[in-house]
Structure 1
Amino acid sequence: MSAVPPDEAPQIRVIAMPADANPAGDIFGGWLMAHMDQAGASVAFRSARGRVATVAVEAMTFHLPVHVGDEVSLYGRLLGTGRTSIRVHVEAWRRDRTTEDAARVTEATFTFVALDDDGRPRPVPAA
C-alpha cells in the first residue's frame, strides 16, 4: 500500500522505538493514537488560539501496522469549527527505515473543545 503522503508539512514526526512495541515488534495502537491526538491538538490549538481538550475520536481505522524503527509522520487537517468545538482529521503515515516507501497506517477524526483559563468551554474565535 505505497502512496504519497499529504503535500503539507507534518504536525509531528517521530521514530517508533522498541519500548512502544509488543514482543513481535508491532507498535501499540495506543502509542499511535496518543501521537495522533497531539497532532490534532496542534491544529486545534491554532484555530482556537488557546487551550483545547479532546472530547471525541471518530472512526479510528488501522490500515497497516507500524514497526520498530519506522518514521511516523502525522498530518492534521481542519475540517470545521462549531461554537466551541473544532474537528480535525488526522492521518498517520509510516516510512520504512530502509526505503522511501510511504504508507498511510491509520486515520481518525478528532473533536476538540476550546477552553478558557478555568477549563470551561469558550467560543472559538472567528477565522
Structure 2
Amino acid sequence: MPAEIEGKVPSLRTFPMPADSNANGDIFGGWILSHMDLAGAARAYDYVGGRVVTVGIEAMKFHKPVFIGDEISFYTEIARVGRTSVTVKIDSWCRRRDTRNYVKVTEGLYTFVAIGDDRQPVEIRKS
C-alpha cells in the first residue's frame, strides 16, 4: 500500500505496545478507537481551523485484529460538512510485523463539532 491513498490523508502512524493488548496479544478495540479519534480530530481541526470536539461515532467496523508490533496508520478524509459539524471517514491500515503486508483493519465515521473559546458550537466558515 502506498504512503497515501487517493483522497485520504495519512493523519497518524504508530505501533501498539504490549500494554495495549489482551492476554492473547490482540490490541484492545478501545485503543484503536482512541487513536482513530485522535486522527479524525487532527483532520477536523485542520479543516475547521480551530478547536473541535468529538460528538459521535456514526459507524465503526473492525475487519481484522491488530497485534503487538504491527505498524498501524490512520487515513482520513472529509465525508460531510454541516453548519457547525464535520464528519471524518477514518480507515486504519496496518503493516504486519511478520510479513510486512498491509491489511485494512478498521473503518469508521466520526463527527466533530467546531467550538469557540466559550466551548459553544461555532459556524464553520467555508473556504
TM bracket (short chain): over 0.9
Task: Report the CA distance between 1:9 and its aligned residue.
Answer: 4.9
Percent identity at matched positions?
47
Q: Give the AA of the match of 2:21.
A: A
Q: Distance in 1 between matches of 2:88 and 2:47?
A: 10
* Alignment TM-score, normalising by the size of structure 2: 0.93
Q: Give the AA of the match of 1:44.
A: A
Match of 1:70 in 2: 70
Q: Distance in 1 between matches of 2:75 and 2:43?
A: 9
Which runs of structure 1 show a deviation greater than 4 angstroms over 4 or more consecutive aligned residues?
none
Q: Distance in 2 between matches of 1:9 and 1:114?
A: 20
Q: Distance in 2 between matches of 1:77 and 1:126?
A: 17
Aligned residues: 124
Q: Give the AA of the match of 1:26.
A: D
Q: Which deviations, in whole Å up to 9, do the C-alpha atoms of 1:67-105 show, x marking residues without a partner?
A: 000000000101121100001000111111233310000
Q: CA RMSD in A?
A: 1.2
1:23 aligns with 2:16: no
Match of 1:13 in 2: 13
Match of 2:80 in 1: 80
Q: Give the AA of the match of 2:17.
A: M
SS of aligned partner of 2:97: coil
Q: How does 1:14-53 map to 2 (within 5 A)?
A: 14-53=14-53
Structure 2, unmatched stretches of 5+, are none
Match of 1:90 in 2: 90
